[in-house]
C-alpha cells in the first residue's frame, strides 16, 4: 500500500475570515482538516491569527484559539494593530506573510506538500522556495479573492469543495 504524502497545512486566518465574510460563507476548520486528511498525512497544521487586546474580542479570540488547538491546529499569534485608513476609519490589521513563510521553510524538511490556505499573491516567493526544495505547494482560496498568480499555480478553489468544508 502506497503511503500518503506528508502535508503541512498553513492557514492565513485573517485572509480567510475577511474573504469568507465577503463571499457569504465561512470555512469549518475541522472539516478542512478532514478534507486534507482524505489523501494526506497531516504532519503539521498551523493557524495564524491576530490577537486583540480589548474585550470582548480578546475573550472570543481565546475561545476560538482553544477550539482550534483542540481539533489539531497549532496557533501562531501576534498583537493586532489599529491603523487609520485614508478615509479616517480605524481598522484592525495583522499581517502574517513573513511568519507564515518562515514557518513553512522551517517545517519543509519533514513535508512532501505544503497546503497554503490564502488567496494572497504575496506567497509567490514562498512557492518558489518550496519548489526549489523539490517539494510541492498547493493553494486553497476562495474564488472571489484568489489572486491571478495563485490561479496560475496548483490550487483548489474553496468554492469547489464548499459542500465538504463549509461551516453550517
The predicted-structure confidence for 57-67, as pLDDT tens digits, reads as follows 999 999 999 99
CB 31 within 8 A of CB 165: yes
Domain edges within the chain? 6-165
C-alpha cell of residue 154: 496548483
Full 3-state SS string of the chain: CCCCCEEEEEEEHHHHHHHHHHHCCCECHHHHHHHHHCCCEEEEEEEEEEECCCCCHHHHHHHHHHHHHHHCCEEEEEECEEEECCCCCEEEECCCHHHHHHHHHHHHHHCCEEEEECCCHHHHHHHHHHHHCCCEEEEEECCCCCCHHHHCCCEEEHHHHHHHHECC
Q: Which CATH number is 6-165 given?
A: 3.40.50.1010
pLDDT exceeds cutoff 90 at 132 = yes
User: Which residues face 43 on adjacent strands?
Assistant: none
State the average pLDDT over residues 6-12: 98
CB 155 within 8 A of CB 146: yes
* Structure confidence by residue, pLDDT tens digits, 28-73: 999 999 999 999 999 999 999 999 988 999 999 999 999 999 999 9
pLDDT exceeds cutoff 80 at 2 = no
Cα 165 to Cα 158: distance, rounded to the nearest angstrom: 8
Task: List, in order, residues 6 or more apart from 12 with CB less than 8 Å away.
Answer: 48, 96, 100, 116, 117, 118, 120
pLDDT at 134: 97
Q: What is the pTM of this model?
A: 0.93
pLDDT at 84: 87
Amino acid at each position: 500500500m502506497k503511503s500518503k504524502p506528508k502535508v503541512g497545512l498553513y492557514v492565513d486566518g485573517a485572509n480567510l475570515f475577511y474573504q469568507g465574510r465577503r463571499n457569504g460563507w465561512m470555512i469549518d476548520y475541522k472539516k478542512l482538516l478532514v478534507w486534507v486528511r482524505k489523501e494526506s498525512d497531516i504532519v503539521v497544521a498551523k493557524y495564524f491569527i491576530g490577537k486583540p487586546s480589548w474585550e470582548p474580542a480578546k475573550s472570543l479570540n481565546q475561545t476560538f484559539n482553544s477550539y482550534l488547538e483542540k481539533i489539531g491546529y497549532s496557533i501562531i499569534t501576534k498583537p493586532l494593530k489599529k491603523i487609520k485608513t485614508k478615509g479616517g476609519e480605524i481598522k484592525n490589521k495583522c499581517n502574517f506573510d513573513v511568519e507564515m513563510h518562515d514557518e513553512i521553510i522551517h517545517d519543509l524538511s519533514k513535508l512532501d506538500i505544503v497546503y497554503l490556505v490564502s488567496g494572497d499573491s504575496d506567497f509567490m516567493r514562498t512557492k518558489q522556495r518550496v519548489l526549489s526544495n523539490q517539494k510541492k505547494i498547493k493553494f486553497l482560496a476562495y474564488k472571489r479573492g484568489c489572486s491571478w498568480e495563485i490561479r496560475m499555480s496548483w490550487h483548489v478553489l474553496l468554492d469547489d469543495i464548499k459542500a465538504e468544508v463549509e461551516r453550517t
